[in-house]
Amino acid sequence: MGRCVTNDVHLLLDLKNKVNVSLITYGEEAYERFVRLCDKYNIDPRKFRIEVEMRAKGASVGNTDTYFYGEGRRFRSVKEIVRFYDPHPPITVSDEYIEKQILKKKLDLDRIIRQTVELCEPSVVKLKAEPSIFPFFNEDRYTTGFYDSRGRYRSMCIHPYNKTTIRYGKIGWQHTSDCMCSIHRNKSYWRRLTSKALSIRTNSILNNEDFMETVVGMRSKAYLQYLSDGFIKNFSGILPEYELSQTPESLYTKYVIDEYYPRCAGKGLTSHLDIAHFLAKVFNYKNTQLLLKDGEQATLMGVPKHKMLINGKKGGTICYDAYENFKTIIPSKNAIDYFYKFVIEFGD
């Protein structure tokens, strides 16, 4: 036990009020702090006396320890006194703290609720467990994993909003990337928006010359020939010659049309005008090509899976040549106006 220095006088620097130097005993200084804490925890300081000891050895030699004597025992801290009066005090924590702890541990729904109960006062447990406060409760509850027939993992939503949807033979299932329920609607916005735009463009190539001239920038016949020339150039030496000698219409029917520069590259855009300008460039004729359908089609043809040439195998990768080409595209005002109206009417 160290030397008792309760009544020893020392200099006290009060830096909060600039520099205020005063003489005070260790006991007086400790008692002032103790009174402030007693007021916070509703403790009567008159029931305790204080002793301060100075450490005589070890790495912390010269530091002081404060002990509180009262209620027939010695306490090493105010927290010990608080626990003495109430062994099971209610724990009050912020919503942010609870959310951080739950996300950190990645608990399942049942354990999330139990964890919340442990962290909250009983009177507010129900309130703090509401999905409106912790929206990821609902997301965990309504999201499930699924492996399709090709072994690819699919994130599926089973929210009641999708009760009439059928995916993989299961009623009430929807891909989270396409889901419009209250949980996934914001997250799936870009995928839904650009998928609809691509669908309109694909369906318009053979029967909507106004769309082709306004958005794509080239009439249908000329565009199909443009795609055919690019396809032959890309796959020369890769696909058999008989595949490359088909008519532009046959190539378009057999293979997949897609944008060369990925739509996902604009996902962070928020302004309607910026989105319209981006889509006008994406769906411009200079940014398109015919692709193999997928890796399965490439295997059937006996050719390797060439990166950036197989639909669905790009993985969001942006080829340098495609990026450089994309920067040079200048969409027409009519194309930008078309997509601006499209984005507005699409909503959220």
DSSP states of 163-195 as a string?
TT-EETTEET-EETTT--STTTTTTTHHHHHHH
pLDDT at residue number 21: 63
- Please give the domain boundaries of the chain with CATH numbers for all domains: 3-85 (3.30.890), 95-175 (no CATH), 189-346 (no CATH)
Cα distance between residue 248 and residue 256, in whole Å? 12
pLDDT at residue number 135: 45
Cα distance between residue 235 and residue 244, in whole Å? 8
Task: Return per-residue pLDDT of the chain as tens, 348 residues.
Answer: 578 888 888 776 665 555 566 778 888 888 888 988 888 888 888 899 999 998 888 777 788 899 999 988 999 998 899 888 877 655 555 556 655 655 555 445 555 555 555 555 444 444 434 444 444 445 667 888 777 776 777 888 888 888 888 888 888 888 888 888 888 888 889 989 999 999 999 889 988 999 999 999 999 999 999 999 988 888 888 888 888 899 999 998 888 887 888 888 888 898 999 999 999 999 999 998 888 777 777 777 777 666 656 666 655 566 777 888 899 999 999 999 999 999 999 988
The two tokens of residue 248 are: 């532009």
CA 6 centroid distance within chain: 55
Name the pTM for this structure: 0.57
Nearest Cα to 226, choosing from 280, 289, 310?
289
The two tokens of residue 257 are: 């049309």
Cα distance between residue 249 and residue 259, in whole Å? 18
The phi and psi torsions of 329 (rounded to 5 degrees) equal -75, 130
pLDDT at residue number 290: 86
CA 186 centroid distance within chain: 11
Question: Which CA distances in Å does 124 have to 129, 179, 240, 337?
Answer: 9, 32, 70, 52
